[in-house]
Structure 1
């Protein structure tokens, strides 16, 4: 029999075929209408039929890491696999600063958070100290890592593990207090090889809107296509091509096809465009923040106020050499802060928006 706490945080799932409610059985979930079944493997609910593997390790090494987690602490394994070969990823996995933006959201211990694209759990774990978390990812092995880590740490607040795609979310409406899309929205168009990426991104945002409670929040961590970083020639974070993200879409597409042999589908936007997308879906109270140096490796998160950024640049930030890209970015950002248009040129945004409450 469920205790009171379990009843409070029971997630309601829906069938992806007919929308009917799902009942949990021992090894699967079954639709009460069409009787379609969804497998539960190692405590992970599987809704995504796409078995393609995506990860920072090759699939064989990832499976070896998961086996080793049965008898070795996860921190030792992450150090072994990444500290020397991939220090940037090691830093991201082990540093909780990436999640510091969550203090901007009024969460309570019974709030329910959905972390879409949970990856290594770098957001899910620090946020789980404040709220209940559902971890969702399109790759089963990544969820296995997060699940095993929760067991090692006796973490009960990350309580559901869902293998699914943001374009087909298996949740009934109005359940979550916060949905996180950190480094996710830009990849939506690339998750399928058909359809307009912009339209697919709108669909993803609409799906999020539907499952949020009234007054619930969405957080988006994402690049600014016109950031000084990219205007100065830095590689796009998704295609690894320079001089592409700020191009008109047809030109970016031709460039990508010429160099990579595939369409350009990882769309990013500027502040005005992100705001318009969110408003189109129905989100309100849209607020943009400056995660320094970017949303992946947050050291400081600031209000997008020119005076705040200018003070940071002039009085706190350690100056880099002008011969470095970061040094040139600092100079340009300081100039932009002085003329009050810094918001248009920072490298990435932290965006908070809210689902409006229905008045009586």
Structure 2
């Protein structure tokens, strides 16, 4: 098929009946670059992921990252559903909606963006893309689901009513079937990231949402209670709230009111920021206090809401976690249903890996390892939800309560269990697994009383030493819980199990080689680059840099003032010097005049001579007064310079005290 025919296929998906010829919303010319990337990728998501090796600008990541679809790929759409996607953007989630529906109608204001949707979904036969304003469009269907992903906040800009948000919701509700569901994703104007200093996502003004958008028009988000009140007043009586972290744009984990985060699992996500210029607090350092005070639902960064007209008795997803940074064929995600069942799910490309996980469970059971029972149902691995703590939870609780010996005792028991299922090497009495199950770690093992039970065993590699598996368990424990170092250092704990420096270096290398087979480095790099801005040390360094800049600017200003005063002093000196020279010339002239008129003066009477001498002395006095006046002015200028020098020294001392105070603050 020629390129022209191929593009004709794209345009066949477009309905331009309601297009007014204007693209009113755009990220600019970068959208043309995005369309070129889409054409070059030819529908291959792996090729899109490779783009991030060279281009990590935010619009590129936002429109093209596979992580975008995480906001809906976990949702339990009913079979044969009709879905209306309002504000489809450049199609980041449209394909996922098509995978879960008999028909999708995507509405987009911008023709250029609509073309991007068509390019991404040119082979779909269950998609129609309508270009235009929803207020002008006539729709023939009632839909089972309507999605507003990053759309509701803009209602004021395209719905010109006294209550634009209510009116917009009431209008779209007319397109919803009686038992239909409205799915909304939106930022929380009171989100924790905004309290940490991040700029408001839409206005780029710090604290704009928190203060109620005092000067911004056309866009706004809502706090949790505000959003629920808005939905109820618009006819949606039943509303289920979910909390995507770090936000709905690039979800890594999704909590719900039925499964809220705890201090133990609150940091298993990477906060995602464009920069650190305004941050004064690490999100990770603040979230524990938010959770302790039962404030997480009010301070989550964003919401995903399932809104219905009446109470919904369908099964609900309680919790979802995603593996975003892996290669496409290894991306398996986990969700908890009604706090009763745990399901592992994936795209079609990762089904083989999912089947391998099921086989790992079977093989480990044969080895005598206690395992959660699993079943493969509809291309999902399903197991019972276990309301027990993990070994990692138990160890952390013991360390936090300073029960060091008891924590080590649990680790000893865990180690003995690993050894009991291992193969012993005859020549050096070491232990290994013929098939390396590297996920036999603390966080993947429940503990009830003194009994262990493993789950989530994804990986199986070649022969692996048993102490390498324990090394991974311990290093993962310390990775998110650095406080343990104050109780027992990681190296000391490793040495208890004969994992010395040589083994540590060898295991680091082995772990890196394994991770290179699992993780897509381009995705890891752009996630880590953005998330590093949340690091407390990074924020402290940023503050130090800002203080240094202020002090350097101040010193530069002092130097400038000093130079200006020095120039002024030099000008005064030159003026005085010129006056003195004129004075000396005048004296010489008068002396010459005096000599030339000696004979004449000698012939004058005494009174005339006295008169001339008096005038001469007066002129001398006048000139001396001028010299005296400028001498005083020079003294004042020199005194001013001394005061400036003292002020500069005082400023430098204050700067040193400020730096010490900041360092002391961040240490606390």
TM-score above 0.5, yes or no:
yes
2:194 corresponds to 1:189: no
2:302 to 340, 345, 348: 348
Q: Alpha-carbon deviation of 1:180?
A: 0.7
SS in 1 for 2:107: strand
Q: Alpha-carbon deviation of 1:231?
A: 2.2
Q: Alpha-carbon deviation of 1:169?
A: 4.0
**1:6-65 C-alpha deviation (Å, 9 max, x unpaired):** xxxxxxxxxxxxxxxxxxxxxxxxxxxxxxxxxx98732331426134333428x62x87
Q: Alpha-carbon deviation of 1:89?
A: 3.3
Q: Alpha-carbon deviation of 1:272?
A: 0.6
Q: Alpha-carbon deviation of 1:331?
A: 2.6
Residue of structure 2 equivalent to 1:287? 240
Q: Which has the higher strand share?
A: 1
1:68 and 1:295 mapped to 2: Cα distance? Answer: 24
Describe the shift of the 1:73–1:57 C-alpha distance in structure 2 as closer, same or farther (beyond 3 A).
farther
Q: Is the contact between residue 306 and residue 338 of structure 1 (CA under 8 Å) also seen in structure 2?
A: no
Residue of structure 2 equivalent to 1:205? 169
Residue of structure 1 equivalent to 2:95? 125
2:73 corresponds to 1:73: no
Residue of structure 2 equivalent to 1:21? none
1:49 to 20, 23, 32: 20
Q: Alpha-carbon deviation of 1:215?
A: 1.1
Q: Is the contact between residue 219 and residue 353 of structure 1 (CA under 8 Å) also seen in structure 2?
A: yes
SS in 2 for 1:189: helix
Residue of structure 1 equivalent to 2:133? 165
1:53 and 1:86 mapped to 2: Cα distance? Answer: 25
Flag the structure with more relative contact order, 1 or 2, with Cα contacts below 8 A and sequence separation at least 6.
1
2:196 and 2:34 mapped to 1: Cα distance? Answer: 39
With structure 1 as the length reference, what TM-score do the two structures score?
0.71
Q: Alpha-carbon deviation of 1:115?
A: 1.1
Q: Alpha-carbon deviation of 1:86?
A: 4.2
1:267 and 1:342 mapped to 2: Cα distance? Answer: 21
Describe the shift of the 1:269–1:53 C-alpha distance in structure 2 as closer, same or farther (beyond 3 A).
closer
Residue of structure 2 equivalent to 1:260? none
Q: Alpha-carbon deviation of 1:93?
A: 3.3
Q: Alpha-carbon deviation of 1:91?
A: 3.1
1:272 to 225, 245, 255: 225
2:297 and 2:24 mapped to 1: Cα distance? Answer: 36
Which runs of structure 2 are paired with 1:209-358 in the superposition (5 Å)? 209-249=173-213, 252-253=214-215, 256=216, 264-304=217-257, 307-313=260-266, 316-317=268-269, 325=279, 328-356=282-310
SS in 1 for 2:72: helix
Q: Alpha-carbon deviation of 1:118?
A: 0.8
Q: Alpha-carbon deviation of 1:70?
A: 6.8
Q: Is the contact between residue 49 and residue 66 of structure 2 (CA under 8 Å) also seen in structure 1?
A: no
2:83 to 70, 92, 113: 113
RMSD between aligned alpha carbons? 3.3
1:290 and 1:327 mapped to 2: Cα distance? Answer: 21
Q: How many residues align?
A: 295
1:102 to 68, 72, 78: 72
SS in 1 for 2:134: coil
2:112 and 2:269 mapped to 1: Cα distance? Answer: 39
2:29 corresponds to 1:58: yes
Describe the shift of the 1:205–1:231 C-alpha distance in structure 2 as closer, same or farther (beyond 3 A).
same
Q: What runs of 5+ residues in structure 2 fail to find an aligned partner? A: 1-10, 312-668
1:350 and 1:282 mapped to 2: Cα distance? Answer: 18
SS in 1 for 2:179: strand
Q: Is the contact between residue 290 and residue 348 of structure 1 (CA under 8 Å) also seen in structure 2?
A: yes
Residue of structure 1 equivalent to 2:352? none
Greater Cα shift, 109-118 or 48-57: 48-57
Q: Alpha-carbon deviation of 1:355?
A: 2.8
Q: Is the contact between residue 166 and residue 204 of structure 1 (CA under 8 Å) also seen in structure 2?
A: no
Residue of structure 1 equivalent to 2:626? none
2:41 and 2:50 mapped to 1: Cα distance? Answer: 11
Q: Is the contact between residue 252 and residue 269 of structure 2 (CA under 8 Å) also seen in structure 1?
A: no
Q: Alpha-carbon deviation of 1:117?
A: 1.1
Residue of structure 2 equivalent to 1:7? none
Q: Alpha-carbon deviation of 1:95?
A: 3.4
1:178 and 1:319 mapped to 2: Cα distance? Answer: 30
1:137 and 1:340 mapped to 2: Cα distance? Answer: 39
Q: Alpha-carbon deviation of 1:104?
A: 5.7
Q: Is the contact between residue 46 and residue 163 of structure 1 (CA under 8 Å) also seen in structure 2?
A: yes
Describe the shift of the 1:309–1:103 C-alpha distance in structure 2 as closer, same or farther (beyond 3 A).
farther
Structure possessing the higher radius of gyration over alpha carbons? 2
Runs of 4+ more than 4 Å apart: 64-72, 74-83, 317-320, 323-327
